[in-house]
Structure 1
Amino acid sequence: MKITYVSNFMNHHQLPFSQRILSQDGVEYTFVAIEAIPQERLDMGYEDMNHKYPFVICAYDSEKKMRQAEKLIDDADVAIYGSCPDSLIMRRTNKGKLCFKFSERYFKEGTGLLQVPHNLASAWKHLKPFENGPLYFCCSSAYTAADLNRYTNFKGRTFKWGYFPETKKYNVDELMKQKLSVTSAGWKHPQASILWAGRLIGWKHPDASIELAASLKEKGYSFKMSIIGNGEMEAQLHEMIRSKGVDDCVEMLGAMSPNEVRAHMESADVFLFTSDFNEGWGAVLNESMNSGCAVVASHAIGSVPFLVKDGVNGLVYENGNQEHFEKQVRRLLDDDAYRRKMGESAYTTISDTWNAQVASGRFVELARKIIKGDLAQTLFEDGPCSSAEILDNGWYHANES
């Protein structure tokens, strides 16, 4: 089976899937990069992977490379599309050739009455031309299926997917002991280490973590909170820490490389994920769960309904509900055994199911089944490549937790 993956550029989220699918029996695989990695990402410490791996074709390098890429797309048994122009998808759908689109949700800005004209126009431009197939969707958000079927009809062609960053294998007992033993210079040994990581921008709501810290401190909790990242809210957050008097328990560490962030996750007891519906997937959830963190995450984040079973392998809170957010965090701080259980279960979720090895094997099996004309929606019960059902934005409420 020849598989060609077309997207903007190779990155550390796509690399594990690419490497694992290369190891599948009977698979020839090529990744087509249609643009160079942006300088902004390079400045943040990201590696330029486009020219590093032999299975990557840099179509933007020359006309010759672009023609080579187009032939790979045309000749593949299966083409996968990430971020790319619709014209590259139409090369195959117009010929009835099997395609998959790896996609986050389409309508992040909402689906209320005011958004209908814009959303409808976008759906008819970017989705309607593919409504009759053969285009299937691997949904890198639990809300993608609902968006796809709001103005167009892709029922029966949506499957659970995601981002699959590197999955590390740990001795879980040793990992949990490491979390209990970590201290930072100038800090007293905390009851719990709490971590927030991401860009410091409005829709990620890092300020919610500082509001949380102020309330926890007032209630007498002993903890250390670390915030990793940079962005437009950085000065505002520094001022919040000062004005709320939490500079003795909250530290801002600035931007870090992905490897440095993972090291902090390995040391953290609790990971906070506070984004709203603008967070398409949120790979920090995979990474923090893989690192054995007990996560507390907003229900609006695209990865949360797929990865987190509330009270089983992490805790979900109602997006924007600060009181509920704090309640869920306090459940973890009040019970060391419960916190450890959430962290261990989170690790198992990623190491056993939601990883590149499982996803690549299932994807090949799914593609082969569709090519044969067999029913594919029931191939897997849960996890990658299982059926992605329609999920409304309001599926979760605080009184249900």
Structure 2
Amino acid sequence: MTVTFISNYINHHQIPFSNACYGLLGNEYHFIQCEPMEKERLAMGWNTEGEKLPYVHFLYEEEALCHKLVMESDVLLAGWSGHEELVQERLKTGKLTIRVSERLYREGQWKAVSPKGLVHKYREHTRYRKSPAYLLCAGAYVPSDFHLIHAYPGKMFKWGYFPETRYYDKKGFEGLKKEEGRADILWAGRFIPLKHAEYMVRLAKDLQGKYDFHIHMVGSGQMEEELKMLAKEQAVEGAITFYGFKTPDEVRDIMEKCHVYVFTSNHLEGWGAVVNEAMNSGCAVVANVQAGAIPYLIRHRENGLAYPAGSYEKMKEEVCYLLEHPGERKEMGRRAYETIVNLWNADHGARELLRMVRGLKEGRIEPAPEGPLSAAPVVRPDKMYEYMLRSRQCNGKGEF
């Protein structure tokens, strides 16, 4: 069985999944890179090592081969590539095609009323509702967006991004973080408005004098000088360390030493792979429910904490709870780690995908019971936090 994944470029969020597929399929797995990586990503510490992998092909260098793979592979995984014409050419043949998509209406579902937009979405998606075309939802808000355009009915499944998973034995895991002394709180990302890094300076001000803590800020961007000035104005410079950009491995090394990870991105964050990494590092995560990954990864008050609608006050309340309950904080971190190593990782995702594909080729739709490839529920964005809480009360696990 030949599987081809077409996307913009290979990166450290996609390499583990692709490596897992290559391990299962060998030379029958291919990744088509459609454009070189942007300079901004390279400046952030990302690298192009993935381009040397044996299964990676370049549309801009091997056009004929890539076209053949798109058209003749048993399965095409179609991420965002900037070359929709290739995906459309395949869809018209009726061959098995699985879309991998983040949100359609990240800025607001009101955009779904645009007649021009609806025509565009019909041509790309809705007209194939009865075809062997399926959707992997890279974020919990994706199903609601596609439901609005009546696409992929009964054919939407949970998906996401799978950065590298680190595995520890019991002794190694328990030795990652200091048991006594201050609580180390981490934030990592680009300093841009949608990430709301300014919440962390405000948090430092509110926690100062009340708790023994230190905030670690990893990243850079347009707001960096503004944030440093704000920290100085609020007299919290000693409570915050600004690291600048670090490589993904360096970020992970810092995560392993931190007790709490705070994720403040708003609704414009399609997924948020840094949350996978923080959970894998045993951090107790406090995260804004508006980001795509959170309702899939976090089981509120079991393996992490979610807060509603980007509320700073609710975020602060959850962080304070963790600082005041170190035993529960440690237990949430342990469960977070287990969530990643047992369920939300590249190896498990690849196995589930190939299991699902074999069923589809035989005319069966068999979703996984939980995690990747399980059925993706349609939940309105403004009801997601309530849905998470209600689901937890119903089954005791917060799964949906």
What is the TM-score when the length of structure 2 is the normalising length?
A: 0.92
CA contact (8 A) 2:45 2:245 kept: no
CA contact (8 A) 1:111 1:119 kept: no
CA contact (8 A) 1:176 1:292 kept: no
CA distance in 1 between partners of 2:277 and 2:89 (Å)? 36
- From 153, 173, 187, the equivalent of 1:196 is 187
Aligned partner of 2:172 in structure 1 is: 174
CA contact (8 A) 1:165 1:355 kept: yes
Aligned partner of 1:370 in structure 2 is: 360
CA contact (8 A) 1:192 1:270 kept: yes
Between stretches 123-132 and 6-15, larger displacement belongs to 123-132
CA distance in 1 between partners of 2:70 and 2:277 (Å)? 32
Go from structure 1 to structure 2 and tell me whether the alpha carbon gap of 1:399 and 1:60 turns closer, same or farther (over 3 Å shift).
Answer: closer
- 1:377-388 residue pairs with structure 2 within 5 A? 379-388=367-376
Between stretches 131-140 and 225-234, larger displacement belongs to 131-140
Q: Shift of the alpha carbon at 1:173? A: 4.1
Go from structure 1 to structure 2 and tell me whether the alpha carbon gap of 1:350 and 1:398 turns closer, same or farther (over 3 Å shift).
Answer: closer
**Paired amino acid for 1:381:** P
SS in structure 2 opposite 1:271?
strand
SS in structure 2 opposite 1:60?
coil
Q: Shift of the alpha carbon at 1:319? A: 2.5
**Paired amino acid for 1:23:** G
Q: Shift of the alpha carbon at 1:27? A: 7.4
- From 202, 207, 210, the equivalent of 1:211 is 202
- 1:340-351 residue pairs with structure 2 within 5 A? 340-351=330-341
Matched length: 387
Residues 182-211 of structure 1 show CA distances to partners (whole Å, capped at 9, x for unaligned) of xxxxxxx85200000000010111111211
- 1:223-234 residue pairs with structure 2 within 5 A? 223-234=213-224
Aligned partner of 1:265 in structure 2 is: 255
Contiguous gaps of at least 5 residues in structure 1 = 182-188
Q: Shift of the alpha carbon at 1:397? A: 4.9
Aligned partner of 1:72 in structure 2 is: 69
**Paired amino acid for 1:203:** L
CA distance in 2 between partners of 1:126 and 1:239 (Å)? 47
1:316 aligns with 2:340: no
Aligned partner of 1:111 in structure 2 is: 109
CA contact (8 A) 2:263 2:288 kept: yes
**Paired amino acid for 1:285:** V
**Paired amino acid for 1:354:** W
SS in structure 1 opposite 2:5?
strand
1:222 aligns with 2:220: no
CA distance in 2 between partners of 1:359 and 1:102 (Å)? 13
CA distance in 1 between partners of 2:239 and 2:50 (Å)? 41
Contiguous gaps of at least 5 residues in structure 2 = 391-400
- From 159, 162, 178, the equivalent of 2:160 is 162
CA contact (8 A) 1:164 1:354 kept: yes
Q: Shift of the alpha carbon at 1:86? A: 1.8
Aligned partner of 2:271 in structure 1 is: 281
SS in structure 2 opposite 1:46?
coil
SS in structure 2 opposite 1:106?
coil
CA distance in 1 between partners of 2:361 and 2:389 (Å)? 42
Go from structure 1 to structure 2 and tell me whether the alpha carbon gap of 1:247 and 1:7 turns closer, same or farther (over 3 Å shift).
Answer: same
CA distance in 1 between partners of 2:264 and 2:270 (Å)? 13
CA contact (8 A) 1:6 1:82 kept: yes
CA contact (8 A) 1:190 1:224 kept: no
- 1:285-304 residue pairs with structure 2 within 5 A? 285-304=275-294
CA distance in 1 between partners of 2:223 and 2:323 (Å)? 27
SS in structure 2 opposite 1:237?
helix
Go from structure 1 to structure 2 and tell me whether the alpha carbon gap of 1:59 and 1:229 turns closer, same or farther (over 3 Å shift).
Answer: same
Residues 309-336 of structure 1 show CA distances to partners (whole Å, capped at 9, x for unaligned) of 0001000011321111111111110011
CA distance in 2 between partners of 1:41 and 1:272 (Å)? 22
Go from structure 1 to structure 2 and tell me whether the alpha carbon gap of 1:331 and 1:122 turns closer, same or farther (over 3 Å shift).
Answer: farther
**Paired amino acid for 1:198:** G
Go from structure 1 to structure 2 and tell me whether the alpha carbon gap of 1:48 and 1:27 turns closer, same or farther (over 3 Å shift).
Answer: closer
1:136 aligns with 2:125: no
CA distance in 2 between partners of 1:51 and 1:341 (Å)? 39
Percent identity among equivalent residues? 36
**Paired amino acid for 1:316:** A
CA contact (8 A) 1:6 1:80 kept: yes
Between stretches 391-400 and 99-108, larger displacement belongs to 391-400
Q: Shift of the alpha carbon at 1:44? A: 2.5
Aligned partner of 2:5 in structure 1 is: 5
Between stretches 193-202 and 70-79, larger displacement belongs to 70-79
CA distance in 2 between partners of 1:79 and 1:44 (Å)? 30
1:60 aligns with 2:60: yes
CA distance in 2 between partners of 1:242 and 1:98 (Å)? 56
CA contact (8 A) 2:112 2:149 kept: no
CA contact (8 A) 2:12 2:50 kept: no
Residues 337-372 of structure 1 show CA distances to partners (whole Å, capped at 9, x for unaligned) of 101000000000000110011000000010111111
**Paired amino acid for 1:83:** W
Between stretches 268-277 and 318-327, larger displacement belongs to 318-327
Poorly superposed stretches of 4+, deviation over 6 Å? none
Residues 30-81 of structure 1 show CA distances to partners (whole Å, capped at 9, x for unaligned) of 11111112222223222213531111111212xxx10011111111110011
CA contact (8 A) 2:263 2:275 kept: yes
SS in structure 2 opposite 1:174?
helix
Residues 108-144 of structure 1 show CA distances to partners (whole Å, capped at 9, x for unaligned) of 10123x6632754553354334333322111110111
**Paired amino acid for 1:4:** T
Q: Shift of the alpha carbon at 1:374? A: 1.3
